[in-house]
Structure 1
Amino acid sequence: MNKSNKFLEMTVFVTVVDCNSFIEAAGKLNLSKQAVSRYIQALEDRLQVRLLQRTTRNMVVTNEGQTFYWQAKAIINATLEAEESLSLKQASPQGILRVNVPVSFGVLHLAPLWQKFSKKYPQIILDITLSDRFVNLLEEGYDLAIRIGNLDNSSLISRKLATTKMIVAASPDYIAHYGMPINPDDLKQHKIIMYSHWAKKEQWNFYQNNRCYSVNLSANVYCNNGDTCRQIILQGGGISKQPDFIIGQDVKAGQLVSVLTNYYVEDYNIYAMYPSRKLLPLRTRCLIDFLISELEHVQW
């Protein structure tokens, strides 16, 4: 099979998942429903895996389908945007660019970049809002948002900017007083400082030898700001799960101690999210490309 057919199969699959309907996807792609079904069947046959469970009434994306969906969507977005960027290369980016970013990440890692971006694109006016709340881009008029964590299926377009490793940590004084957890269940006996905006925030997953150990925790403190969580655990307030872009340097300096280090804690991706690639303003594209170049290989 040639590459163009593989790309078409991926496009059909991603469109079906986005629309949650074979019929709607067929209309969007200007194909017949039968053609859409054939492309999906051909893709599953080639991959030797079931991507969609289909009945006469509904459709469910399998776990393998979810994984393939995000990978395929990233490939499609990158390909289409690379093509579009060639036609826009000679244009002059300008106008107001409204951006929403998380507070801690925005202060620690994006704030030092804004002047560099403005110097490169002096005709773009940045309007930056810091908020840990998941905003509605379309309703609230944002051109782009930075989001961290596992994304739900969405009509929004996503571009991966970087990856952050999650660390479970406490202060040395706290560990000296309350002891070091040996396994995930031990966390139930400890004071937990929890960031309240993570999806499934009270379920912490740990991995060891290809097994997942989930523990459901209640917190002593819930907070919607990672820097505040950091300050509490630095003062010996408890154990928290935080990204390395917030507490990585504290761990390296010995001000915090990683716990349960014989288990793996998940990584979270950092994304640029925007409403649509169609008629995407050049100023938005310039910011996406700039952030990718600045953050793609960063070490926190």
Structure 2
Amino acid sequence: MLNKGLIALLPDLATFILVVNKGSFTAAAKELGVTPSALSKLITRLESALEVKLFERTTRSLLITQSGQKIYQQSVIMVNAAQQALDISNAEHSEPVGTITVAAPKAFLSIVLQPIVTPFLQRYPEIELKLKVSDGEIGLLEQDIDIMFRLTDAPYENLISRELGKVNLSLCANPDYLLDKGTPCHPTDLRQHDCIYLGETRTDHIWDFVKGNETHTIPVTGRYAVNHSQMRLNGVKDGLGIGIFPDFVIKEAVRNGEVIQVLKDWTIKGNYHGVIAMQYAPSKYMPTRMRVFIDYAIKHLPI
């Protein structure tokens, strides 16, 4: 049985989760409609009840302690269980209701996912949809995500994964650029070309190629680097060099003849190569709003 002390702690633990997720007392207080000082006193009360220090406070930052991290993880499980209880009730409604937070890489979100957003929200008027750009590693619980889309050859094993298709990396160039500079026939030929890369990390200009038992790691060079797929593609269209993209990014440009794929018989290894995986936490009682989004995405995504 639950004792009175534990029951009294439950609201404070839920508030503690919000502070961690928001990263500051100010942001969490704004969300709750209370003052930061009142929220700070609540956390102090919780620390006293638990007899552990949850945060290291400074004038500039709020850092969760190791003990705080462990309590946070257990508190999230508790809140998720409470959410499931609410979701069971919501499932009784004739129309799905509530908020869904979906994360996806920037290019996938804008090119593939965006076209289904409006018709989905029109179909389900009681659902609120929040989209988040996630070009790096992301955690469902830590960032309050319901569903994530990942382009990877290694989907998270602890999550449910629905494979929606394959994604490959492709090289392409403007036809006029290839007439002027020549078409590369082998990955090593790229050393003689202007290449457009992300420029986010020190290794973005190093491209890996595989064909059968043959592999090549090529450090490319170029005068233009940008970590935005559409801007990078525009640079390719404008003849600034050869670019590397997930195939869905260049599909229309290839069809229109604006760019030509090169080295098509080679596999390019890197981020966003593998499967298109829609992933979410396993749950015995999936909220209706999530179920209808998953079904809608499987049926309507233009993959």
Superposition TM-score, scaled by structure 1 size: 0.60
Task: Report deviation, 1:157.
Answer: 2.8
Deviations 1:170-194 (A, max 9, x none): 1122222322112111112222212
Mean CA deviation greater in 181-190 or 146-155: 146-155
CA distance in 2, matches of 1:89, 1:263: 52
Q: Which residue of 1 aligns with 2:278?
A: 272
Give the paired residue count.
208
Q: Which residue of 2 aligns with 1:213?
A: 215
Aligned residues of 1:203 and 1:214 also touching (Cα < 8 A)? no
Task: Report deviation, 1:236.
Answer: 1.2
Task: Report deviation, 1:113.
Answer: 0.7
Matches within 5 A, 1:19-30: none
Deviations 1:251-281 (A, max 9, x none): 2222112112343557632111223334432
Aligned residues of 1:133 and 1:197 also touching (Cα < 8 A)? no
Task: Report deviation, 1:201.
Answer: 4.9
Task: Report deviation, 1:219.
Answer: 4.5
Matches within 5 A, 1:1-300: 92-151=95-154, 153-195=156-198, 201-208=204-211, 210-220=212-222, 221-265=224-268, 268-295=274-301, 298=302
User: CA 1:203–1:98 in 2, change beyond 3 Å: closer, same or farther?
Assistant: same
User: CA 1:202–1:249 in 2, change beyond 3 Å: closer, same or farther?
Assistant: same
Task: Report deviation, 1:108.
Answer: 2.1
CA distance in 1, matches of 2:290, 2:134: 19
Aligned residues of 2:155 and 2:277 also touching (Cα < 8 A)? no
Q: Which residue of 1 aligns with 2:83?
A: none
User: CA 1:143–1:250 in 2, change beyond 3 Å: closer, same or farther?
Assistant: same
Aligned residues of 1:184 and 1:213 also touching (Cα < 8 A)? no
Aligned residues of 1:145 and 1:274 also touching (Cα < 8 A)? yes
Task: Report deviation, 1:97.
Answer: 0.6
User: CA 1:130–1:152 in 2, change beyond 3 Å: closer, same or farther?
Assistant: closer
CA distance in 1, matches of 2:199, 2:282: 29
Q: CA RMSD in A?
A: 2.9
Aligned residues of 1:102 and 1:130 also touching (Cα < 8 A)? yes
Q: Which residue of 1 aligns with 2:84?
A: none
User: CA 1:234–1:155 in 2, change beyond 3 Å: closer, same or farther?
Assistant: same
The one-letter amino acid of 1:102's match is P
CA distance in 1, matches of 2:166, 2:92: 28
Q: Which residue of 1 aligns with 2:25?
A: none
Q: Which residue of 1 aligns with 2:14?
A: none
CA distance in 2, matches of 1:219, 1:91: 58
The one-letter amino acid of 1:247's match is I
The one-letter amino acid of 1:136's match is G
Unaligned runs of 5+ in 1: 1-87
SS of equivalent to 2:109: helix
Aligned residues of 2:207 and 2:220 also touching (Cα < 8 A)? no
User: CA 1:219–1:107 in 2, change beyond 3 Å: closer, same or farther?
Assistant: same
Aligned identity (percent) is: 29
Task: Report deviation, 1:232.
Answer: 1.2
Unaligned runs of 5+ in 2: 1-90
Aligned residues of 1:157 and 1:277 also touching (Cα < 8 A)? no
CA distance in 2, matches of 1:153, 1:115: 29
Aligned residues of 2:208 and 2:217 also touching (Cα < 8 A)? yes
Structure ID, larger Rg: 2
Aligned residues of 1:171 and 1:257 also touching (Cα < 8 A)? yes
User: CA 1:154–1:224 in 2, change beyond 3 Å: closer, same or farther?
Assistant: farther
Aligned residues of 2:187 and 2:218 also touching (Cα < 8 A)? no
